Structure 1
Amino acid sequence: MPEPLTPAPPTTRPPTPGPLAPEALLALDRQHVWHPYGPMPGRQDPLVVASASGVRLRLAAPAEGRSELVDGMSSWWSAIHGYRHPVLDEAAREQLDRMSHVMFGGLTHEPAVRLATRLVEITPEPLQHVFLADSGSVSVEVALKMCLQYWRSLGRPEKHRLLTWRGGYHGDTWQPMAVCDPDGGMHHLWSGVLPRQIFADSPPPGFDAAPDPAYAAHLHELIGRHAHELAAVVVEPVVQGAGGMAFHSPAYLRVLREACDAHDVLLVFDEIATGFGRSGTLFAAGHADVSPDVMCVGKALTGGYLTLAAALCTSRVAEGISRGEVPVLAHGPTFMGNPLAAAVACASVDLLLGQDWAQEVKRIETGLREGLAEAAGLPGVRDVRVLGAIGVVQLDHPVDMAAATRAAVRAGVWLRPFRDLIYTMPPYVTGDEDVARICAAVRASAQEG
């Protein structure tokens, strides 16, 4: 009879090193740490965050006279519930008491199953199957791989190209870079190396603008002309994020759905930035009442606690792949379905849907409209636009990022301007006074930057 398994003996916890002084930490940061979208070593020291709670970041050392900043960015749009939320903290603690990780190949667990089921319940009806990924960019990789493999499985490998519209951004890994804006985007360095995709003109600006029949005809014509080689159309619905923070009419999503159906092309919506209420509907596709064949979600999925994303697809796509010569989707991240991330994601989704999130987003939208309106009259400002919990001030010239950031910090707010844009996506728990403070900081950044 086999011996019963016995618990491992307790281990002695190594002593926790004391905190580094900010100067020492920054010296090591300059020496070793490569920050996003920056050179190595960096040209400017980042601010050192010691802790975060609610909508506030506490700095290890004062900057511009401030030791605490209101976060106007939701940590790149993910921390919709703010920081140290007791519900999410408790979900993480409870899962840590069970297991922090286990491989997903050949095994499963309750947090991942609950999360996949929940996502199917709240996303558009035809989406039935969920592939959990490490990050938003990886979920787009998976989504595009799904579309390419679908057509290969059906014996149509010639359908291997992708179509999108200009001004988009879908991530920094290989296939997503190929469908980012080829000229104005940050990945133009790789033109000539990336797969050559098909680009429609940028959608006409304005969420509330009347749809342009000529642009609709342009989309129909381009999809029809390339249908024989198109695997999928992939777009960010309603809001183009890091490609330019542009809004467009939901009507163009209906045009894409009609054209894709007419010409037998799959439709992919990248809802990584827009999912979970950011634009005023739970998913931006809801503005048009349109369902894609594949949808990507991420960012706010875990409330900003842990990295996690998902690619959802219809049964048509999943069954098509499974009938192919290679009947599996050959993709399997090591941390796929991470139980800790999945448990927090379940808690985050339930927390969002258990409150009147739409009213909170509407409240923030009202505050942003009121607070940013006067920015339209500032010198150098080309446009001011607001949708849901998104506020954008666009300049008529590239922003002086360092000067604009300093101005925001002096106003007590953390913002991250880029290109010609100063924008904010605050957590949904941001109070009215802090929304007004964020707007003042955006205006100050626009003046300075």
Structure 2
Amino acid sequence: MQPDRDTLIRLDKQYVWHPYTPMRRYIDDVDPLVIARAEGARLHDVDGKSYIDANSSWWVATLGHNHPRLVEALRRQAETMCHVSLAGVTHQPAAELGEALVKAAPRGLSRVFYSDNGSTAVEVAIKLAIQYWRNVGRPEKRRFVALEGAFHGETLGATSLCGVEVFRRPFAGAVMECLFVPPPSPEEPRGLAHEKAFKALEEALAQGRSEIAAVVLEPLVQGSTGMRMYDPELLRRARALCDAHEVLLVIDEVFTGYGRTGGMWACASAGVTPDVMCVGKGFTGGMLPMAATLVKETLFEAFLAPENTFYYGHSFCGNPLGAAVALEVLRVFEEEQILAHAAPKAARIKQAFEEMGQLPGVSNARALGMIGALDLRPGASYLGDLGWRAYAEARRLGVYLRPLGDVIYVAPPLTIAEEVLDELLEVVRRSVLFALGQG
């Protein structure tokens, strides 16, 4: 028999440390959701109330919660082998997933290195880039370039690439130095904003080409900093600049991959193949923590000499359970035509956010693929409180709408039913009005 709600909250507040949470306030004031099960686009609490999961539980449940094919793939694999190390060993799920990933990836990526989450996929990319240049006789190339407002994960190396000051500040002095260049500004005309961003990147690479190992970008959408969106042309120009200045291009598709921006990969929709691509979150459809870093063959070849071995890995590298589920995710995308079925839903999100963008007090409404976002005040801050007013109202109305400070956004499962999506978008509209004192 499941403990009652009060008992679970008492245990939670006594023992559990929550992510990105001011714990004093949480313990004293927060009445948390207590979720008992999840299915499709909905979370169900211990009292039987359901909530539409507006952010796919931090962007991982791309195919919805407990997709039956993924559950079955996990069950089948668990019956034969839950884990074996990938050190001098291989197994069917890891080998077949590697082939499937390369076939699904942008053309030119040919090798797969497994890890256990999006942060470590980026950490792999950082270490690969540094060691690659050392292996080819350029050890001075060990600096990185990222965009202001970038977010690439939680490990120390990935935190070094973080352009969100509130996330980076606590670890100052421990993280690597990174060169940050401004992204396109939403406050300026689109063409001018992108031209300024390109010029800043061009100057950074021209001045630092002898020491820069890689440019690392979130393609088309900077997620955690507030769903900032930019034109694909910046990716195409970044690719050309990296080629001209002998710098690697690392694309972080942890959030944007697996159909979130419309195509399977955001970089592919821009016609760009990176030297390194990081994938996670939707990788296993939210079932298990697993990720991968894909590279071009030229990078892989630089590690073939014994003295150039990549001494890096994880205990759960290539975990059979995760690999079996990740392989089934790719099959579901193809066989159930996930991207085609998501396209009309993406159009509905775009229309709804364009309409909400006309509400008094709302600014910079935007949408791309299965993402919609708006600011509740100009210059929206990650530490702003308006979004939490909307969160509280949405929760009352049956939607889990976790904000990014003053930014309200949705990133629901690609498989969300159209009638559920319409319900979600109506609750978002009502919650925005409430947060702005108009509801």
Same fold (TM over 0.5): yes
Shift in Å at residue 402 of structure 1? 4.0
Please name the residue that 2:38 is paired with.
Answer: 52
Q: Which AA in structure 2 matches 1:230?
A: I
C-alpha contact (below 8 Å) 2:205/2:241 kept by paired residues: yes
C-alpha contact (below 8 Å) 1:166/1:201 kept by paired residues: yes
Please name the residue that 1:32 is paired with.
Answer: 15
Change (3 A) 1:106 1:45: farther
Return the match for 2:368 from 341, 364, 387.
387
Return the match for 2:127 from 128, 140, 145.
145
Change (3 A) 1:324 1:236: farther
Please name the residue that 1:5 is paired with.
Answer: none
Please name the residue that 1:61 is paired with.
Answer: 47
C-alpha contact (below 8 Å) 1:391/1:425 kept by paired residues: yes
Query: Which whole-Å deviations, capped at 9, do the CAs of 1:52-84 have from their partners, x for residues lacking one?
Result: 11211111136xxxx111111111111122122
Match status 1:108 vs 2:90? yes
Q: Which AA in structure 2 matches 1:59?
A: D
Query: What is the DSSP-based 3-state SS (H/G/I as helix, E as strand, rest coil) of the residue aligned with 1:321?
Result: coil
CA–CA distance in structure 2, aligned partners of residues 354 and 125 of structure 1: 21
Match status 1:377 vs 2:358? yes
CA–CA distance in structure 1, aligned partners of residues 40 and 9 of structure 2: 25
CA–CA distance in structure 1, aligned partners of residues 88 and 186 of structure 2: 47
Please name the residue that 1:365 is paired with.
Answer: 346
Q: Which AA in structure 2 matches 1:310?
A: A
CA–CA distance in structure 1, aligned partners of residues 406 and 13 of structure 2: 27
Shift in Å at residue 191 of structure 1? 2.9
Please name the residue that 2:332 is paired with.
Answer: 351
Q: Which AA in structure 2 matches 1:200?
A: V
Shift in Å at residue 39 of structure 1? 3.2
Please name the residue that 1:431 is paired with.
Answer: 417
Return the match for 1:411 from 397, 400, 404.
397
Q: Which AA in structure 2 matches 1:242?
A: S
CA–CA distance in structure 2, aligned partners of residues 21 and 412 of structure 1: 21
Please name the residue that 1:10 is paired with.
Answer: none
Return the match for 1:158 from 131, 140, 143.
140
Return the match for 1:82 from 64, 83, 86.
64
Q: Which AA in structure 1 matches 2:70?
A: L
Shift in Å at residue 401 of structure 1? 4.7
Return the match for 1:213 from 195, 199, 208.
195
Query: Which whole-Å deviations, capped at 9, do the CAs of 1:79-132 have from their partners, x for residues lacking one?
Result: 122122221111111101111111111211100111111111111122111110
Query: Which whole-Å deviations, capped at 9, do the CAs of 1:339-360 have from their partners, x for residues lacking one?
Result: 0111011111110121332222
Aligned sequence identity (%): 39
Please name the residue that 2:99 is paired with.
Answer: 117
Query: What is the DSSP-based 3-state SS (H/G/I as helix, E as strand, rest coil) of the residue aligned with 1:264?
Result: coil
C-alpha contact (below 8 Å) 1:154/1:324 kept by paired residues: no
Shift in Å at residue 247 of structure 1? 0.7
CA–CA distance in structure 2, aligned partners of residues 116 and 209 of structure 1: 39
Counterparts of residues 106-255 of structure 1 (less than 5 Å): 106-183=88-165, 185-205=166-186, 209-210=190-191, 212-255=194-237
C-alpha contact (below 8 Å) 1:250/1:288 kept by paired residues: yes
Q: Which AA in structure 2 matches 1:27?
A: R
C-alpha contact (below 8 Å) 1:278/1:361 kept by paired residues: no
TM-score of the two chains, using structure 1 as the length reference: 0.91
Unaligned runs of 5+ in 1: 1-17
C-alpha contact (below 8 Å) 2:342/2:415 kept by paired residues: no
Change (3 A) 1:40 1:214: closer
Query: What is the DSSP-based 3-state SS (H/G/I as helix, E as strand, rest coil) of the residue aligned with 2:167?
Result: coil
C-alpha contact (below 8 Å) 2:376/2:386 kept by paired residues: no
Paired residues in the alignment total 425
Query: Which whole-Å deviations, capped at 9, do the CAs of 1:141-181 have from their partners, x for residues lacking one?
Result: 00110000001112221111001111211011111111111
Query: Which whole-Å deviations, capped at 9, do the CAs of 1:253-299 have from their partners, x for residues lacking one?
Result: 11111111111111100000011111011100122101100000000
Match status 1:294 vs 2:280? no
Q: Which AA in structure 1 matches 2:34?
A: V
Q: Which AA in structure 2 matches 1:384?
A: A
Query: What is the DSSP-based 3-state SS (H/G/I as helix, E as strand, rest coil) of the residue aligned with 1:186?
Result: helix
C-alpha contact (below 8 Å) 2:184/2:230 kept by paired residues: yes
Shift in Å at residue 196 of structure 1? 1.1
Q: Which AA in structure 1 matches 2:267?
A: A
CA–CA distance in structure 2, aligned partners of residues 294 and 338 of structure 1: 22
CA–CA distance in structure 2, aligned partners of residues 352 and 182 of structure 1: 33
42-51 or 187-196: bigger deviation: 187-196
351-360 or 25-34: bigger deviation: 351-360
Return the match for 1:445 from 415, 428, 431.
431
Q: Which AA in structure 2 matches 1:23?
A: D
Shift in Å at residue 182 of structure 1? 5.0
C-alpha contact (below 8 Å) 1:153/1:323 kept by paired residues: no
CA–CA distance in structure 2, aligned partners of residues 400 and 27 of structure 1: 28
C-alpha contact (below 8 Å) 2:66/2:287 kept by paired residues: no
C-alpha contact (below 8 Å) 1:133/1:336 kept by paired residues: yes
C-alpha contact (below 8 Å) 2:209/2:246 kept by paired residues: yes
Query: What is the DSSP-based 3-state SS (H/G/I as helix, E as strand, rest coil) of the residue aligned with 1:322?
Result: coil
Higher radius of gyration, 1 or 2: 1
Q: CA RMSD in A?
A: 1.8
Shift in Å at residue 197 of structure 1? 0.9
Query: What is the DSSP-based 3-state SS (H/G/I as helix, E as strand, rest coil) of the residue aligned with 1:146?
Result: helix
Query: Which whole-Å deviations, capped at 9, do the CAs of 1:213-239 have from their partners, x for residues lacking one?
Result: 343232222111100110111010111
Return the match for 2:302 from 305, 313, 320.
320
Change (3 A) 1:151 1:257: same
